[in-house]
Structure 1
Amino acid sequence: MRSLTEHRGAALALASPLPVVEVLLDDADGLVVADDLRTDEPLPRWDNSAMDGYAVRQADVVDLPTTLRVVADLPAGSADEPVVGPGTAARIMTGAPVPAGADTIVPVELTDAGTGTVLVREAPAAGVHVRRAGEDAVPGDVVVAAGTLLGPAAIAAVASLGRATVRVHRRPRVAVVSTGDELVPPGTPLRRGQLPDSNSWLLASAVRDAGGTPVRIGPVPDDVDALRSVLADLDGTVDAIVTSGGVSVGAYDVVKAALADDPGVEFLAVAVQPGKPQGLGRLPGGTPIYTLPGNPVSSFASFEMFVRPAILRMRGLADVERPSMSAVADEGWTTPPGRAQLMPVRWVGPDRVVRATARGSGSHLVARLALAEGLAVIPAEIDQVAAGDRVTVLKVSP
C-alpha cells in the first residue's frame, strides 16, 4: 500500500508549469508571472511632493514667519519646470515633481495664501515631505519576480513599470468526469436508487478554487465503451482529467475497467482514509489523469491532497501547499489502523478549537461536508484522537 506522501509525490510528478502566453494586464489577475520583471527607470521616476503645500528653499524659511512670492502652480501630472529662486515658492500638489531650486515642502496647513504670495508660519526640515527618485526601486531591480501570483498589489507593480501586457503561465483547463448509472443531473426527478450528481459540481468548483478552468462533463454511465470514448475525446484537448467513482474492486468499477489496458495509468491502494482506492497516470495523448473514489468526502479529500497541488504547479506556482495550523480537538474520534486520516473539521471556539463534522470516516456524508472549514491530517501512526489533542489542520474551502 502506498503512503499518502508517496502518492502525493506521484501526483505532483505528472504536473509541470504550462506554456507561457502574453496577456493584457486586464486579463492577468490570478495568473502567475513567467519572467522576472525589472525596472529600467528609477521608481519614483523623479523627486515628487508627498504633501499638498508649497515647494520652497530651506534657506528662505529659517526665520519665520516669512512671506514668499508664488511663481508657479504645480498640480500632479504637471510637465512645467519652474525654478524656485531666493524669496519665491511654488504651490504644489501631492505627486507633482519637485521644481528645481526647492528642497523643502511646506504643508498647506502651515501657510496662509495671499494674492500671489504665501505666508509661511512653520516649516519642516529640508526633504521631510519629498519622495526621492529611486527610493522604491532603482534601474535593474526586480519589481515582480517570476512565479508571483498576480493579485491587486502585484498587478499595480506591473502597471507601475508601464507595461500593458505581461507574460504568464496560462490557466490550466481541467476536465471533470463523474461516473455511475445512479447519477442524474441536479433538478432531474429521481427514481428509487438514483442520486443527483454532486461530485462533478464539487470537483469543478474545486478546480476553479485552485485557479484552473473546469470543463465539467456530466455523469457518464457505467459503460466502458462510453467512458473510453469520452476520455479519448478529452485526451490532448485539456491539461488534466479528474474522474470520480469506479476505481475500487466492485463489479461496476467502470473507470478501472476502461483504463485497465492502458500502460500509462496505475490503480493502487493508498494508506489514507477516506480515499484508499486511487489511480493516476497519463493517457496515450500525454494528458495527466487522476481517478478519484466516488464517495463525495473521498473525492473532496483526494482532490485536496493529490489534484489541487498538481493544478497549482501547472499554473507555475512553487508553493503548492494549503496553509496549515495547529488546533485542539474539541472531541475525540477514531482513526484507521496504519492509515493517515483526513478528517473534515469545523471551528467551534475562538482559540483554534475544532470538531469533526461527522463520526467516523463518513465518506458519503455530502451534506455534512458543507460544514467543513478544514481538513485535520492525522498521521498513520496515530491510533486515536482524544479530546484536547493537538492536530494539524489544513485551511480548505468546503
Structure 2
Amino acid sequence: MRDHSHHIELSREEAVAAIIDATRIPDLPHRMETVPVGQSYGRVLACDVASRIDVPGALTCNMDSIAVHWAAFEGLPEGALPDTTDWVRGVDWEFANTGVAMPEGFDTAIVIEHVRVSEDEQHVLIDAAPSARFAGTRAPGSKRKAGDVVACAGEVVTPDVAARVAGANVASVPVVRKPRVAFIPTGDELVAPGSAHVPAGRNVETNSLLARGKIEAWGGEFLPFDIVPDDLAQIEGAVKRACAMADIVVLNAGSSKGSADWNIEELERIGTVLCHETNHGPGHHSSFAVVDAAPVVGISGPPAGASFTLDFYLLPLMRRWAGLEPVAPKVPARLTADLPARGPHGAKGAHAPAGEDRPRMATAPGASFFGIRFLNVTAASDGTLMATPVVGRPGSMEAERANAFFMCPTGGGAEPPKAGDTIEIEFRNPGLAAPF
C-alpha cells in the first residue's frame, strides 16, 4: 500500500501563496502585446496610455446655443440686453451645438432656451445675457492635452475605458498577453463527449469544457490535451509537453489515493511538489507543483470539485499574471437561517460508519477542515447582504442555483453559524475583471 504519511496539506490561503511564490512570472516586456482598442475589452493595460491630441482641439460649444460676440454685451448695465433687431446671422450670431467647435470669430454662447429664432432662421431675440466672455464654451485642451494619461497600466479595459482611449485618438493599446493555459484530463475511465457508446463504468469527460469556459472568460488562451490514461509514461509525456508550450498547466484528477492515481508520484519524480492536498472539500485532493519552471495546478476529478478548485487556484495565478491582486476579498453577510451541520467529507455527518468515514490524513489534531456551504445572497433595504442557506451537495441542481458560498469550519469543536450571525461569504463565478 502506498505511504501517504508524508503528504503536505495546506490551507487554501497557504496553497495560493505557495504556488504564486513559486511561479516565475516573466517581466512585463515579455508578456505584453499591442491590440486594437476594439479588441481590448477585458484586457489589462500593460502601460499608461497617453492622449495624442488636445481635447477639445478648438474653442468648443458646451451646450445647444447660439454663438455671439462678447463685445456686444461688454459694458452694458447689469440686466441690460443689446438690441438684436438688426443682428445678421453669420455676422452677429450663429447656431452653435454641444461638442462642436464654435463658429469662426465667435467667442461666447447663449443657451438656446433663452433665444427666439425667426421662422426663416435669420433673426433672433434673446431674454438673457452671457455672464462673461467664453461663457458656455470649453477652451482648447481644457479636457485633456496631448501627452496626458487617459488610462493607466493595470487598468482593465471596459467599454468606458475603450471610448476614453479612442477619444484621445489612440487606435491600439499595449495589454498583458493572455496566459497560455494547458488542460490535461487524466483517467482510464474517461470517454470524450458525444461518444457513440459510453461503456458501463465509464464517465464522459466534461472538465475540459468547464476549464475552457473559465479560462477564456478569465482572459486566458485555452490549450486542450486529449484524455491521458492512468499510465506513468503517458502522464509524464503529457506534462512535459504542456510545460514546454504553456505558461500554466492544469492537471485534472489522479491526485487522490486510488490504485490508479499516479499523478502525484509522477510530479514528485519530474518536478517539485509544493502541496499534496488542501484542508477543504470539495477539492481536498488538490495539488501544486513546479515542473520545468512551469506551475502545475492539480485539480479534483469530479466536476463540482473541479469547478471550485479552478476558481480557488487557477484564477489567482491568472490574475497574478495580469498584474492584478490574486484573491478577491470576502464580504460580510448575515445569515437568515441556521447553517446546516454536515461532516467534513459529506452529508453523512461526523458519525459515519467506520468503513465510510475518511480520516483526515494530514490535518493536525484539533484543526478545522472547511466544507463548502451554498447560499443565496440578496441585499436588504438598508444595503445589508442577507445569506439564505441552500440545501444541496456540490454539483447538484440546487447548489448550482446558489450565487454565493461560505467555507464552514468543521472539526476542532467548531459549531456551524446560526441565524443572525454575520459570516464572510464569497460570490460564485468570479472573473479576471471582476470589481475586486
TM-score by length of 1: 0.84
User: How far did residue 220 of structure 1 move?
Assistant: 2.4
* 2:316 alignment partner, SS class: helix
* 1:277 alignment partner, SS class: coil
Match of 1:63 among 81, 103, 126: 81
Q: How does 1:159-174 map to 2 (within 5 A)?
A: 159-174=166-181
Instruction: Write the deviation string for residues 64-118 of structure 1: whole angstroms up to 9, x where unpaired.
Output: 66242112xxxxxxxxxxxx6xxx1122232221245533222334231465733
* 2:245 alignment partner, SS class: coil
Greater than 6 Å deviation, 4+ residue runs:
none
1:184 counterpart = 2:191: yes
Structure 2, unaligned runs of 5 or more? 1-8, 74-79, 345-366, 431-436
* 1:231 alignment partner, SS class: helix
User: How far did residue 349 of structure 1 move?
Assistant: 7.6
d(CA) in 2 for partners of 1:357, 1:192: 33
- Judged with a 3 Å threshold, the aligned counterparts in structure 2 of structure 1 residues 366 and 214 are, in CA distance, closer, same or farther, namely farther
Q: How does 1:100-139 map to 2 (within 5 A)?
A: 101-109=105-113, 110-113=115-118, 115=120, 117-123=122-128, 124-126=130-132, 127-139=134-146
The answer for the alignment partner of 1:376 in structure 2 is 406
User: How far did residue 56 of structure 1 move?
Assistant: 0.6
* 1:236 alignment partner, SS class: helix
1:95 counterpart = 2:62: no
* 1:297 alignment partner, SS class: helix
- Judged with a 3 Å threshold, the aligned counterparts in structure 2 of structure 1 residues 349 and 41 are, in CA distance, closer, same or farther, namely closer
Q: How does 1:347-366 map to 2 (within 5 A)?
A: 347=377, 352-358=385-391, 362-363=393-394, 365-366=395-396
The answer for the alignment partner of 1:52 in structure 2 is 64
d(CA) in 1 for partners of 2:396, 2:38: 37
Match of 2:17 among 9, 29, 33: 9
TM-score by length of 2: 0.77
Q: How does 1:205-354 map to 2 (within 5 A)?
A: 205-284=213-292, 286-316=293-323, 318-322=324-328, 324-329=330-335, 330-334=337-341, 336=344, 338-347=368-377, 352-354=385-387
- RMSD over aligned Cα atoms: 2.8
The answer for the alignment partner of 2:160 in structure 1 is 153
Percent identity between matched residues is 24
Contact kept? 1:322, 1:396, Cα under 8 Å: no
Contact kept? 1:178, 1:244, Cα under 8 Å: yes
Structure 1, unaligned runs of 5 or more? 72-83
* 1:235 alignment partner, SS class: helix
d(CA) in 2 for partners of 1:260, 1:239: 20
The answer for the alignment partner of 1:74 in structure 2 is none
Contact kept? 1:326, 1:393, Cα under 8 Å: yes
Q: Which moved more, 1:379-388 or 1:30-39?
A: 379-388
User: How far did residue 324 of structure 1 move?
Assistant: 4.1
The answer for the alignment partner of 2:358 in structure 1 is none
The one-letter code matched in structure 2 to 1:281 is A
Contact kept? 1:186, 1:197, Cα under 8 Å: yes
Contact kept? 2:19, 2:295, Cα under 8 Å: no
Contact kept? 1:11, 1:307, Cα under 8 Å: no
The one-letter code matched in structure 2 to 1:372 is A
Q: Which moved more, 1:10-19 or 1:224-233?
A: 10-19
d(CA) in 2 for partners of 1:366, 1:222: 28
* 1:282 alignment partner, SS class: strand
The one-letter code matched in structure 2 to 1:66 is T
d(CA) in 1 for partners of 2:169, 2:425: 42
The answer for the alignment partner of 2:421 in structure 1 is 389
Q: Which moved more, 1:90-99 or 1:143-152?
A: 90-99
User: How far did residue 211 of structure 1 move?
Assistant: 1.6
Decide which structure has greater strand share: 1
